[in-house]
Structure 1
């Protein structure tokens, strides 16, 4: 999808996922709805568009996947307008304008009766996270921020230690734990599945990015 385009919606049995692209860097923001509750993943930019998407149903929380500024430009405005909690991993929280509660590995973020598991992925930033929803009637759904994209892991600025940490966490915490039909939603660009990307893990390690 493109910035300013029509949001894309995927309806699961219990959770509805709406994806919108915002801002000059075409960031993806995701509105998750379960029952009467809504949670936003990355208030990246364009607060008016996000608030229109949220609508009168309101918002219980915004989860910021990591500290980089293109992922939180609209955060303060969205939190002020909705009264939502602002959640981020403790290791990135001081670099994000407003954080009301910090997250850690294994924490759960509730969206109504649905539950998102926090997975700490170190490398793109110290406090990057992914969020996992295990659909009881289907496959898993994973929001990866800038840690995993179709075609590779996130940018580590050619820092070998950061890349090693990132590829290790992505491989061991995501690919080793979750099946091929797990659908993932990155911070920019198109979605994919772990099964589509799995054959390329060794290639990513070899090239170093």
Structure 2
């Protein structure tokens, strides 16, 4: 691990809305950086709380793992407060526009793109299924994967709503995530962390259950 680089975490609460339904949710917000600069992964619900957690560090990017409203609702306010650009995979723009029709992201994420902060490289992995433009971020120097809602402790993200597809998310997890080193810690969009080695044996069960 690069000296000084670390992973920060806070949980924010709000609502997830899609397809006419609304649910109360708790979201993980991840902050990667050192004492001087940081990025935020998924600016959920509470721009003030996220800005407080960032503190006086320079925020270099607000990265969206996907564009469900509960992961992006605080992004414009945080960007306005800090000047940091909002980055999103282009395939999720239709979802983004449902929440922020008058404010586009500032840049697009692409598969294989490398985001650098505090000397740490995070590689963008396009992992569609939960959403068309869903991405994960792999930071080998931190032995970390930021999985958004693609992979949770115990199973893949939900695929029962618009813009989602179960065979696609299974392929994304199998081909892009379970091939990472087993000790990689998976920092999820909701709930507890897990590891690649803990989730890999369950792949066949997910398929059998039509998870």
TM-score, scaled relative to structure 2 = 0.87
Match of 2:198 in 1: 196
Alignment of 1:73-84 (within 5 A): 73-84=73-84
Match of 2:62 in 1: 62
How many residues in Structure 1 have an aligned counterpart in Structure 2? 194
4+ runs of 1 displaced by more than 6 Å? none
For structure 2, the residue ranges without an aligned partner over 5 or more in a row are 15-24
Question: Which among 93, 106, 110 is matched to residue 104 of structure 1?
Answer: 110
Following superposition, the deviation at residue 140 of structure 1 comes to 2.3
Match of 1:51 in 2: 51
Matched, 1:166 2:169: yes
Match of 2:20 in 1: none
Question: Which among 147, 150, 175 is matched to residue 150 of structure 2?
Answer: 147
Aligned partners of 2:5 and 2:118 also within 8 Å:
no
For structure 1, the residue ranges without an aligned partner over 5 or more in a row are 1-10
Aligned partners of 2:125 and 2:136 also within 8 Å:
yes
Query: What's the C-alpha RMSD, in Å, of the aligned pairs?
Result: 1.8
Counterpart Cα distance in 2 of 1:124 and 1:166: 6
Encode CA deviations 1:126-157: one digit per residue, 9 max, x unaligned: 0000000011xxx6200000000001001100
Following superposition, the deviation at residue 158 of structure 1 comes to 7.3
Matched, 1:125 2:128: no
Match of 2:183 in 1: 181
